[in-house]
Amino acid sequence: MSEQLLTIVLRSLWISGTALLLSALWSLPISFILGLRRFRGRETLISIFNALMGVPTVALGLILYLLFSNRGPLGFASLLYTPWAIIIGQAILITPLFISVLTSAIESVDPQIKDLAKTLGASGHQTSLAVLKEAKKGAILAAVSSFNRAVSELGVALMVGGNLLGATRVMTTQISLGVARGELLLSLEVTAVLLAITLTMALIANRLRRD
């Protein structure tokens, strides 16, 4: 693997990993609210998140491009064609998947766990941690699925990242560029690395879920 390709791989991992952490900031509390509480409109919200899992990445990329462009409402932030534009886009992209999978896992936890925690005087935060511990397998699946979704997407990275060499070029945009230039061997090499990463993440997740 060349130094340039290694840099692209590491940048991809950093961007998608950061996007996962950013998404978790709001996905975790939303998932706990949807999974543990009952309120009017809850089922509608869950259905919306389930539907948004299939949003086309190019559609989201276009919306973000319009927001981040110089004439857009967020143009003042100068985020367009920067790694952070991709991070924000990927974080938004994977949020519905993260929430849907984790909410389902939380719902499957025995209600007695929650009741027992409250009986023992646990706070809301402690109760959530107890439920999360029981929903560990689902939480791992949510995190890994979301990361793989982020690192494998093309639309957002291309639309708001611009595929700039040394700045925003990631594995998927490199594959697309290689095909356009007729550099099929390079594209195949990057594809193999991308597949190896997603497969490794899945294997690690399966191992953790069995422990």
pLDDT digits (tens, 9 = 90+) for 1-14: 788 899 999 999 99
Binned at pLDDT 50, 70 and 90, residue 59 comes out as: very high
**Domain residue limits at 11:** 3-210
Amino acid symbol at 122: A
Q: Which H or E run contains 29?
A: helix 3-36
pLDDT at 108: 84
Amino acid symbol at 55: V
- The DSSP secondary-structure symbol of 55 reads -
Q: Please determine, for residue 121, whether its predicted confidence score (pLDDT) is greater than 70.
A: no
Binned at pLDDT 50, 70 and 90, residue 21 comes out as: very high
From residue 26, give the alpha-carbon distance in Å to each of 33, 75, 80, 126, 164: 11, 24, 23, 18, 29
pLDDT at 117: 64
Q: What is the CATH number of the domain that holds 38?
A: 1.10.3720.10
As a whole number, mean pLDDT of residues 76-94 equals 97
From residue 185, give the alpha-carbon distance in Å to each of 87, 175, 181: 28, 10, 11
Q: Please determine, for residue 38, whether its predicted confidence score (pLDDT) is greater than 90.
A: no
Q: Please list, in sequence order, all residues whose beta carbon lies within 8 angstroms of the beta carbon of residue 140, skipping any fewer than 6 positions away.
A: 205, 208, 209
Q: Please determine, for residue 72, whether its predicted confidence score (pLDDT) is greater than 90.
A: yes
Angle between helices 3-36 and 83-107 (to 10 degrees): 40
pLDDT at 207: 84
Q: Please determine, for residue 122, whether its predicted confidence score (pLDDT) is greater than 80.
A: no
**At 111, is the secondary structure helix, strand, or coil?**
helix
Q: What is the mean pLDDT of the chain?
A: 91
pLDDT at 111: 73
CB atoms within 10 A of CB 90: 31
How many domains does the structure of the chain reveal? Answer: 1
Q: Please determine, for residue 97, whether its predicted confidence score (pLDDT) is greater than 70.
A: yes
From residue 118, give the alpha-carbon distance in Å to each of 17, 113, 128, 158, 160: 34, 9, 10, 48, 46
Q: Please determine, for residue 109, whether its predicted confidence score (pLDDT) is greater than 90.
A: no
Question: Dihedral of the CA atoms 204, 207, 208, 211 (nearest 10)?
Answer: -160
Binned at pLDDT 50, 70 and 90, residue 211 comes out as: low
Structural Rg of the chain based on CA atoms: 19
From residue 73, give the alpha-carbon distance in Å to each of 22, 77, 92: 22, 9, 17
**Two tokens, residue 140:** 């791992």
